[in-house]
Structure 1
């Protein structure tokens, strides 16, 4: 393998070189092919690498910063492939990479974007009837994709899985085995590559056949398309079309089910460590920082235990940095514990 020049290494805004894996490189190549097809349809002719670079430069001000650097990484991967094949020398590679930066430099990227939208702005708290109504609307479409969207909206708040994690999931008895969406051999995020979710009252016996049907549809789509990210985008697009003309549904995404599920479990009395083991987080503080609040959770049904706690997964969860510092200072680690300490009943021997 040829040694690549420095200009072909993908770095982020801080100048840190990102790690590469065969999976990410394959994803860049697939995205590059899609970019070529899209631009070729737009220009009504065959396009070259230079055409793609000029298109990205011309749209830099109207692209979000993350989008621009994703396109840039895609171009860099294609240049790496061309360089490794001997069709591009170092001088040509440096010229192409330099051409990627717009004339106004980094500050001009995204300068015309009026609103920066991120997943953090999606609805974190959704009423059960809202999910139910959207699921019913999806089922009424009688279309395969909408049937899947309806199932994700119906079962998502109960399982706390990411939409991608149900693709390829296996249901063995009352245990759901999913592959963590953010885990990879490089970053090793979360508690591990796979995790087991014990279904107790989250999905009742009479619901299991419909849930198995959902998993079968997802598996068929995965076998046909092969790219989980592409499928999640398909389902997200169907949900956006479903929300049109429904003002109260603005901001509800497939991710909202996971966020609301965390809030509901917290209100039901599950500890941060238990919730982290269910959601696949390595830190007990992640869910509270990024997902729904306990006081916005759905009212628990007396005597109902939605999900079982896997002892093996629970053992992998660590206390977060804030919790460690509070423990060191002998302070309560949760708001509930703090309130309990403050409102503790006074001793009967008190002279007050």
Structure 2
């Protein structure tokens, strides 16, 4: 079966697999992780499962499986291939049962929602540090644009303003468009309900991107803002269990869209999801919603969403979409 993973994912899996092997070698006293039998590595990882969060466990399994499969494909030794295939089978048969519901490290400190009071406080903090912190204004601009549109951080690289059928629109390439996870390769957001202030936010965002991208690549800018936000949120909010990230406003946007009365299909289309189930399973609930959503999906993209979930039990109204 041909892999549809992106080169970036393949690289991430390869790095993670090497880390898993190195950890096993260190814990078990092997001089080199290359001398370890595949099943020994798998057994060690399974032994660590009670200390690993469920989602992290899945990532580790996928990374190690991908690594072993690559080695098996490249090997001409039947015994080595059999050992690798046995290790893959052991990974495939091992469920996530027994792993932690939530982790205790990185992802466990990430806050999914971003309440308006917190956002206002943080934006004020950033505004007060413009001129003192290199990325303060860039991050402030990014967050306000993310609040308005719900874009994934990576999607801003391809985003642009245009006009379709006389209506202002934001067009972009969908993130996670591999393996049928996105609602098509591109999506369009109708901005006809956006205010003049909203449009100013978007224009400022694109001007900021243009300025910084003349000095660095987009991924470098995103990484810099991610690191700066991690430091800045802790300086702004002090000690707390969870802190907002660049992605938090996408989760907040999803909750706002649900509360505003958008159907599951409309929420999926706005977010670029292939099915109407994703936002319900992985994003903030409507009860976390707090503000109006002024971007709308286009009708053709709403129709393209695959139905899997039950309708939302709340939402006072149906929102309008325009045909495309």
TM-score bracket for the superposition, by shorter chain length: 0.5 to 0.7
Q: Which residue of 2 aligns with 1:91?
A: 79
Q: Which residue of 2 aligns with 1:176?
A: 170
Please give the per-residue CA displacement for 1:237-265, whole angstroms capped at 9, x wherever unaligned. 44333332624682423332122223333
CA shift for structure 1 position 283: 4.3
Q: Is the aligned partner of 1:21 residue 2:7?
A: no
CA shift for structure 1 position 77: 3.6
Q: Which residue of 2 aligns with 1:74?
A: 63
Q: Does structure 2 conserve the Cα–Cα contact (< 8 Å) formed by 1:266 and 1:294? A: yes
RMSD over aligned CA atoms reads 4.6
Q: Which residue of 2 aligns with 1:167?
A: 157
Query: Alpha carbons of 1:114 and 1:299: their partners in 2 closer, same or farther (altered >3 Å)?
Result: closer
Q: Does structure 2 conserve the Cα–Cα contact (< 8 Å) formed by 1:284 and 1:319? A: yes
SS at match of 1:254: coil
- Paired residues, what number? 293
Q: Does structure 2 conserve the Cα–Cα contact (< 8 Å) formed by 1:123 and 1:256? A: yes
Query: Alpha carbons of 1:25 and 1:212: their partners in 2 closer, same or farther (altered >3 Å)?
Result: closer
Q: Does structure 1 conserve the Cα–Cα contact (< 8 Å) formed by 2:112 and 2:251? A: yes
Q: Does structure 2 conserve the Cα–Cα contact (< 8 Å) formed by 1:243 and 1:249? A: no
Q: How do 1:78-227 and structure 2 match up within 5 A?
A: 78-86=67-75, 88-96=76-84, 106=94, 115-116=102-103, 123-138=111-126, 140=129, 142-144=133-135, 148-172=138-162, 174-184=168-178, 187-200=179-192, 201=194, 204-216=198-210, 217=212, 222=217
Q: Which segment drifts farther, 117-126 or 274-283?
A: 117-126
Determine which structure has more spread, i.e. the larger CA radius of gyration: 1
Q: Is the aligned partner of 1:253 residue 2:245?
A: yes
Q: Is the aligned partner of 1:243 residue 2:228?
A: no
Q: Does structure 2 conserve the Cα–Cα contact (< 8 Å) formed by 1:167 and 1:218? A: no
Please give the per-residue CA displacement for 1:284-342, whole angstroms capped at 9, x wherever unaligned. 46545543444543354xxxx7214423223323554534xxxxxxxxx744579xxxx
Q: Which residue of 1 aligns with 2:322?
A: none
Q: Is the aligned partner of 1:49 residue 2:34?
A: yes
Q: Does structure 2 conserve the Cα–Cα contact (< 8 Å) formed by 1:148 and 1:218? A: no
Query: Alpha carbons of 1:162 and 1:74: their partners in 2 closer, same or farther (altered >3 Å)?
Result: same
5+ long unaligned stretches in structure 2:
318-324
Q: Which residue of 2 aligns with 1:32?
A: 14
Query: Alpha carbons of 1:243 and 1:52: their partners in 2 closer, same or farther (altered >3 Å)?
Result: farther
